[in-house]
Amino acid sequence: MPKKYNTPNVYETEIDISEITTPAGTSTGAITAPFPKGPVNRPVLVTSDKQFVEKFGEPAVSGSDLIYGYGAYAALEFLKESDALYVVRAAVASEDFFAANGISTEVTATTIAAIGASAGPVPDKADLIYAIDNTVMPATTDMIVGAISPGDWGNDIAITVESLTSASDWLFQYDDLPVGVSPSAVETSAMTIARRVFKVSVFTKSSSDSWTDFKVDKVGTSALSIVPIESFYGTLRVQLDGNNQQLFIKDVINGNSNYIYVDVNSNATVFEQTYNPIVKTSANEVLGIDERALISLTGGVAVPKTGLGTYYSQWEYLTDKQNYDINIVIIPDYSTTVKQQVVQNVVGSRKDCIAVAQVGSYANNTLESVLNAEKYGYTDPSYIALYAGWDKVYDKYNSRNVFLPKSIFGAALMARTDDVANVWDAPAGMSRGIIPSSEQNKLFDFSEIGQLYDRNINTSRLIRGVGHVMWGQKTAQMKKSALDRINVRRLLLFIRKSMEEALLPYVLDVNNTAKTRLRIWSNLDAFLATIQAEGGLLKYEVVCNESNNPAQVIDSNQLNVDVYVQPVKTVEFISLQTIVTKTGVNFEEVRVR
């Protein structure tokens, strides 16, 4: 329809039809397992092994036993090859996990300390974290403080709470003063907003020390001194400072502290103090201006606690494909088929990632026992890859060797392949599949590797002078099709996710016309042509025209796009023939192929 103009002129407009399909990421992993510390029931994106150790702890051992299983090892191996891993710390591990791995300790309880009273935590499902927000506090309790990491980790945390002195640095940072309060008024006003502000400081110690050995700002004693690692200023009520920044202590600390989070009683009295540190009376002394009381967060224990969910339920946090863009899901321990099916249901419902799983425990060191350990029964088997065998690697954190499930390296090799090659290349073989292993719990021979492969179970092969090399790349799909190979499954995941993201901007933004269909065809055709040119596809075709968008489809507010692809196939079997002939024979005459 022509536009209406009333003044002769040149009216310029710009129309952007240069959309392109951006390749989706392919190496973002996801794992859930018990860990020594860290927030629970909440996916946390970790980008390096250093960050993982800071947030969730090093692999923990007790004598020759692993305390928390193989989760930390799996995360650290994956982060050697990728810079993106969603980690969910499980609140409770399933009984079969502990039984299979010989583990007797479970970390579930949350450390809680209270200012005025103690209270226990309950799960906060709304925020997907194990929070203290729903704790019922006595009327006499103004604020409770908890460690962000459930378990006994919080026993090595203490806090101090103090009111401000007239010489407090905070009071003389004019921009931080409450609105309408001048520096001079702070010391003279009997009722000033500034007097509602208090300071929370956080301290840590080693687990071998006792809090009774430490004092804060103690003068004239031989007690060990300690300095805060974090400090926060806040109020017990909603209050803005001079920069319109919130001073409410819950908003100041929660999400900003690396050690604690707090909740405030809605019935708490307004905090109005004179400029002296809060004092605390103990059995032995009254603490004055030269000594602040350390309030330790005691009570965290490494024992099961009921009502906190199950190890299986942790995977539910990763079913949301809109919020958590993942490609490789890691089951970090020997798992029963039931557990593998639970995870397979997650990736099967998402249909944008692949899971790796271990077949057989460390004790399964014969071909027969490994085959008997896998019962199958997956509804979407092409979304799961199975691995057998255990690899000995060096644990630098505990200065010892440890056998790890081969599935851990199956996931890491997928990320390595994405880094050094393409998503449609096999995560196996001598170029990309070398495992940093010094020994196997079972060194499968050539025939046994073939029998495992017939059952769609991948394992490694020892090649002298090279090392242990992943020697298979099948999915769990027993039906013979292109989707029984990992490289094809991952190629299709990559193509589908990229095209879905490319088509999303068209929803509710365009009409189903020939022009729109041509734009979509051009966009996707260019994307697939690039993959074909780089060796990912043999052939492809994009259909988006009147042939698959008749009037009935258009009237239903739909638009159909059909994409046909012929994936490349990886060379896995080479037949080599050497034909010996008599002297003078013409090779063309005796050629057998």
pLDDT in tens, 317-346: 788 888 899 999 998 877 666 778 888 888
Average pLDDT over residues 445-452: 95
Average pLDDT over residues 157-178: 65
What is residue 104's predicted lDDT score, i.e. its pLDDT?
35
Confidence of residue 63 (pLDDT cuts 50, 70, 90): low
DSSP state of 305: -
Whether the predicted pLDDT of 110 surpasses 50: no
Q: Which residues contact 317 (CB under 8 A, 6 or more apart)?
A: 32, 41, 42, 43, 88, 128, 324
Using a 10 angstrom Cβ sphere, with 0-12 exposed, 13-18 middle and 19 or more buried, the burial of residue 590 is exposed
Instruction: For residues 43 and 41, give the distance between their C-alpha atoms in angstroms, rounded to a whole number.
Output: 7
Among 431, 486, 422, 421, which Cα is nearest to 453's? 486
Q: Which CATH architecture has domain 29-107+308-488?
A: 3-Layer(aba) Sandwich (3.40)
Handedness of CA 342, 347, 348, 349 (dihedral sign): positive
What is residue 15's predicted lDDT score, i.e. its pLDDT?
65
DSSP-derived 3-state class of residue 115: strand
Place of tokens 């240069």: 18
> Residue 415: what are its φ and ψ, rounded to 5°?
-65, -40
Residue 252's identity, in one-letter code, is V
Whether the predicted pLDDT of 479 surpasses 80: yes
Confidence of residue 416 (pLDDT cuts 50, 70, 90): very high
User: What kind and span of H or E run contains 33?
Assistant: strand 29-33
Antiparallel, parallel or unpaired: β 214-215 and 224-225: parallel
Q: What is the share, in percent, of the chain residues with pLDDT greater than 70?
A: 73
Instruction: For residues 8 and 370, give the distance between their C-alpha atoms in angstroms, rounded to a whole number.
Output: 83
Whether the predicted pLDDT of 290 surpasses 50: no
Q: Name the least confident of 118-127, 196-205, 307-316, 499-508.
A: 118-127
User: Which tokens belong to 466?
Assistant: 């090279």
What is residue 530's predicted lDDT score, i.e. its pLDDT?
95
Whether the predicted pLDDT of 183 surpasses 60: no
Instruction: For residues 451 and 455, give the distance between their C-alpha atoms in angstroms, rounded to a whole number.
Output: 7
Whether the predicted pLDDT of 77 surpasses 90: yes
Whether the predicted pLDDT of 517 surpasses 60: yes
Whether the predicted pLDDT of 418 surpasses 60: yes
Q: 69 vs 542, which has greater pLDDT? A: 542
Confidence of residue 494 (pLDDT cuts 50, 70, 90): very high
Please state the separation of Cα 314 from the chain's center in Å: 12
Sequence spans of domains, the chain = 29-107+308-488, 112-296, 510-593
Whether the predicted pLDDT of 107 surpasses 50: no
Residue 197's identity, in one-letter code, is V
Instruction: For residues 372 and 367, give the distance between their C-alpha atoms in angstroms, rounded to a whole number.
Output: 9
Average pLDDT over residues 175-194: 53
Among 397, 419, 390, 457, which Cα is nearest to 67's? 397
Structural contact between residues 181 and 208, judged by C-beta atoms closer than 8 angstroms: no
Q: Beta partners for 10?
A: none
Structural contact between residues 362 and 403, judged by C-beta atoms closer than 8 angstroms: yes
Terminal C-alpha separation, the chain: 66
What is residue 379's predicted lDDT score, i.e. its pLDDT?
87
Structural contact between residues 35 and 72, judged by C-beta atoms closer than 8 angstroms: yes
Q: Beta partners for 86?
A: 30, 45
Average pLDDT over residues 214-218: 68
